[in-house]
Protein backbone atom coordinates (compact mmCIF):
# COMPACT_ATOMS: atom_id res chain seq x y z
CA UNK A 1 0.00 0.00 0.00
CA UNK A 2 1.23 3.47 -0.84
CA UNK A 3 1.75 5.79 2.11
CA UNK A 4 1.72 9.56 2.16
CA UNK A 5 3.21 11.22 5.25
CA UNK A 6 2.97 7.88 7.03
CA UNK A 7 -0.74 7.46 6.25
CA UNK A 8 -2.40 5.10 3.83
CA UNK A 9 -4.43 6.94 1.20
CA UNK A 10 -8.11 6.27 0.63
CA UNK A 11 -9.08 3.42 -1.66
CA UNK A 12 -11.99 3.82 -4.03
CA UNK A 13 -13.56 2.44 -7.17
CA UNK A 14 -12.73 4.14 -10.47
CA UNK A 15 -13.58 2.75 -13.89
CA UNK A 16 -14.68 -0.41 -12.06
CA UNK A 17 -11.29 -0.94 -10.40
CA UNK A 18 -9.92 -0.43 -6.89
CA UNK A 19 -7.49 2.48 -6.88
CA UNK A 20 -5.52 4.33 -4.23
CA UNK A 21 -5.64 8.09 -3.97
CA UNK A 22 -2.22 9.76 -3.96
CA UNK A 23 -1.01 13.35 -4.11
CA UNK A 24 0.85 14.36 -7.28
CA UNK A 25 1.98 17.91 -7.98
CA UNK A 26 -0.50 19.28 -5.46
CA UNK A 27 -3.47 17.53 -7.04
CA UNK A 28 -5.03 14.13 -6.57
CA UNK A 29 -3.93 11.31 -8.86
CA UNK A 30 -4.69 7.61 -8.70
CA UNK A 31 -2.69 4.41 -8.76
CA UNK A 32 -4.21 0.99 -9.20
CA UNK A 33 -3.79 -1.11 -6.10
CA UNK A 34 -3.91 -4.34 -8.12
CA UNK A 35 -1.07 -3.76 -10.63
CA UNK A 36 1.77 -2.66 -8.44
CA UNK A 37 0.96 1.02 -8.58
CA UNK A 38 0.51 1.62 -12.31
CA UNK A 39 -0.84 5.14 -12.77
CA UNK A 40 -4.45 5.17 -13.97
CA UNK A 41 -4.35 8.01 -16.51
CA UNK A 42 -6.88 10.81 -16.05
CA UNK A 43 -8.74 12.96 -18.58
CA UNK A 44 -6.20 15.74 -18.01
CA UNK A 45 -3.42 13.42 -19.24
CA UNK A 46 -4.86 13.48 -22.76
CA UNK A 47 -5.40 16.12 -25.38
CA UNK A 48 -8.14 15.64 -27.96
CA UNK A 49 -11.91 15.33 -27.84
CA UNK A 50 -12.88 12.31 -29.96
CA UNK A 51 -12.26 8.57 -30.11
CA UNK A 52 -9.05 8.01 -32.11
CA UNK A 53 -7.96 11.60 -31.46
CA UNK A 54 -6.70 11.34 -27.86
CA UNK A 55 -2.94 11.85 -27.40
CA UNK A 56 -1.15 11.17 -24.13
CA UNK A 57 0.44 14.36 -22.75
CA UNK A 58 1.01 13.15 -19.19
CA UNK A 59 4.35 12.69 -17.48
CA UNK A 60 3.99 9.24 -15.91
CA UNK A 61 6.10 6.56 -17.63
CA UNK A 62 3.92 3.60 -16.58
CA UNK A 63 0.21 4.07 -17.16
CA UNK A 64 -3.11 2.33 -17.57
CA UNK A 65 -5.32 3.76 -20.28
CA UNK A 66 -8.89 4.15 -19.04
CA UNK A 67 -11.73 2.69 -21.13
CA UNK A 68 -13.35 6.12 -21.32
CA UNK A 69 -11.63 9.49 -21.75
CA UNK A 70 -13.50 12.77 -21.30
CA UNK A 71 -16.78 10.83 -21.36
CA UNK A 72 -15.95 9.15 -24.69
CA UNK A 73 -15.87 5.31 -24.74
CA UNK A 74 -12.71 4.22 -26.58
CA UNK A 75 -12.45 1.88 -29.56
CA UNK A 76 -9.21 3.39 -30.92
CA UNK A 77 -5.75 4.02 -29.51
CA UNK A 78 -4.61 5.58 -32.80
CA UNK A 79 -1.32 7.57 -32.45
CA UNK A 80 -1.85 7.78 -28.67
CA UNK A 81 1.88 7.72 -27.78
CA UNK A 82 3.32 9.02 -31.06
CA UNK A 83 6.75 10.55 -30.34
CA UNK A 84 6.11 10.14 -26.61
CA UNK A 85 4.06 13.35 -26.39
CA UNK A 86 6.47 14.61 -23.74
CA UNK A 87 6.93 11.35 -21.85
CA UNK A 88 9.22 8.34 -22.12
CA UNK A 89 6.55 5.63 -21.94
CA UNK A 90 7.92 2.39 -20.49
CA UNK A 91 4.77 0.43 -19.63
CA UNK A 92 1.22 0.67 -20.90
CA UNK A 93 -1.73 -1.34 -19.56
CA UNK A 94 -5.09 -1.55 -21.31
CA UNK A 95 -7.95 -3.85 -20.33
CA UNK A 96 -10.33 -2.50 -22.98
CA UNK A 97 -11.63 -5.35 -25.18
CA UNK A 98 -13.34 -2.83 -27.51
CA UNK A 99 -10.12 -1.45 -29.02
CA UNK A 100 -10.03 -2.22 -32.76
CA UNK A 101 -7.52 0.38 -34.00
CA UNK A 102 -3.95 0.47 -32.67
CA UNK A 103 -2.44 2.12 -35.76
CA UNK A 104 0.82 4.02 -35.09
CA UNK A 105 0.31 3.50 -31.33
CA UNK A 106 4.03 3.50 -30.37
CA UNK A 107 5.37 5.18 -33.53
CA UNK A 108 8.68 6.95 -32.82
CA UNK A 109 8.56 6.37 -29.05
CA UNK A 110 12.05 6.92 -27.66
CA UNK A 111 12.23 4.68 -24.60
CA UNK A 112 14.38 1.57 -25.09
CA UNK A 113 12.12 -0.28 -22.62
CA UNK A 114 8.47 -0.86 -23.51
CA UNK A 115 6.31 -3.28 -21.52
CA UNK A 116 3.01 -4.09 -23.24
CA UNK A 117 2.45 -7.41 -21.45
CA UNK A 118 -0.86 -6.23 -19.94
CA UNK A 119 -2.28 -4.79 -23.14
CA UNK A 120 -5.61 -6.29 -24.26
CA UNK A 121 -5.46 -6.81 -28.05
CA UNK A 122 -8.08 -9.51 -28.70
CA UNK A 123 -10.42 -7.11 -30.52
CA UNK A 124 -7.78 -5.34 -32.60
CA UNK A 125 -8.10 -5.38 -36.37
CA UNK A 126 -5.57 -2.66 -37.20
CA UNK A 127 -1.93 -2.67 -36.04
CA UNK A 128 -0.51 -0.73 -39.01
CA UNK A 129 2.90 0.80 -38.13
CA UNK A 130 2.22 0.12 -34.44
CA UNK A 131 5.92 -0.02 -33.43
CA UNK A 132 7.32 1.88 -36.44
CA UNK A 133 10.61 3.59 -35.55
CA UNK A 134 10.17 2.66 -31.88
CA UNK A 135 13.44 2.68 -29.89
CA UNK A 136 12.38 -0.36 -27.80
CA UNK A 137 15.07 -3.03 -28.03
CA UNK A 138 12.80 -5.93 -27.04
CA UNK A 139 9.18 -6.41 -28.11
CA UNK A 140 7.58 -9.06 -25.91
CA UNK A 141 4.10 -9.92 -27.19
CA UNK A 142 4.02 -13.34 -25.50
CA UNK A 143 0.94 -12.50 -23.42
CA UNK A 144 -1.10 -11.20 -26.36
CA UNK A 145 -4.07 -13.28 -27.45
CA UNK A 146 -4.65 -12.30 -31.08
CA UNK A 147 -8.06 -12.76 -32.65
CA UNK A 148 -8.42 -15.36 -35.38
CA UNK A 149 -9.69 -12.82 -37.89
CA UNK A 150 -7.47 -10.86 -40.23
CA UNK A 151 -5.43 -8.17 -38.48
CA UNK A 152 -3.79 -5.58 -40.71
CA UNK A 153 -0.15 -5.62 -39.60
CA UNK A 154 1.30 -3.62 -42.49
CA UNK A 155 4.64 -2.14 -41.42
CA UNK A 156 3.96 -3.05 -37.78
CA UNK A 157 7.71 -3.20 -36.96
CA UNK A 158 9.11 -1.05 -39.79
CA UNK A 159 12.40 0.61 -38.85
CA UNK A 160 12.05 -0.26 -35.16
CA UNK A 161 15.17 -0.80 -33.05
CA UNK A 162 14.14 -4.16 -31.56
CA UNK A 163 16.50 -7.11 -31.87
CA UNK A 164 14.51 -9.46 -29.63
CA UNK A 165 10.87 -10.44 -30.10
CA UNK A 166 8.63 -12.92 -28.29
CA UNK A 167 5.26 -14.37 -29.24
CA UNK A 168 2.76 -16.56 -27.38
CA UNK A 169 2.45 -19.30 -30.02
CA UNK A 170 4.30 -20.36 -33.16
CA UNK A 171 1.31 -19.21 -35.22
CA UNK A 172 1.61 -15.75 -33.64
CA UNK A 173 5.38 -15.71 -34.24
CA UNK A 174 4.73 -16.57 -37.89
CA UNK A 175 2.28 -13.67 -38.15
CA UNK A 176 4.77 -11.24 -36.59
CA UNK A 177 7.59 -12.56 -38.81
CA UNK A 178 5.60 -12.26 -42.04
CA UNK A 179 6.82 -9.89 -44.73
CA UNK A 180 3.70 -7.77 -44.16
CA UNK A 181 5.08 -6.52 -40.81
CA UNK A 182 8.27 -5.09 -42.37
CA UNK A 183 10.33 -6.21 -39.38
CA UNK A 184 14.03 -5.33 -39.44
CA UNK A 185 16.45 -8.06 -40.56
CA UNK A 186 17.82 -8.41 -37.01
CA UNK A 187 14.41 -9.09 -35.44
CA UNK A 188 12.89 -12.56 -35.42
CA UNK A 189 9.97 -13.44 -33.18
CA UNK A 190 10.15 -16.73 -31.30
CA UNK A 191 7.86 -18.42 -28.80
CA UNK A 192 8.87 -17.29 -25.33
CA UNK A 193 10.37 -20.22 -23.40
DSSP string of 7-44? BPPPEEEETTEEEEEEEETTEEEEEETTTTS-EE--GG
Q: What is the pLDDT of residue 85?
A: 66
Q: What is the pLDDT of residue 88?
A: 85
Q: What is the mean pLDDT of residues 167-191?
A: 97
- Residue pair 60/31 in contact (Cβ under 8 Å)? The answer is no
Q: Is the pLDDT of residue 1 over 80?
A: no
Distance CA 30, CA 121 (A): 24
How long, in residues, is the chain? Answer: 193
What does pTM read for this prediction? Answer: 0.82
CA end-to-end distance (rounded Å), the chain: 33
Of 18-32, 70-84, 174-188, the range with the lowest mean pLDDT is 18-32
Distance CA 172, CA 102 (A): 17
Per-residue pLDDT of 3-37, as tens digits, reads 333 444 444 444 444 555 544 444 444 555 444 67
Average of per-residue pLDDT values in the chain: 86
Domain parsing of the chain, residue ranges = 40-191
Q: What is the mean pLDDT of residues 78-96?
A: 87
Amino acid sequence: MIEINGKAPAEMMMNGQIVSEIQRNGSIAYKKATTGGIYLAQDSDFEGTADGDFKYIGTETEIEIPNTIKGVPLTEHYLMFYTDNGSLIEKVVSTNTNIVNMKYLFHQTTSTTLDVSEYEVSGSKNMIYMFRESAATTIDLSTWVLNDEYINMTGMFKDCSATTGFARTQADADRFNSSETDRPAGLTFVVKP
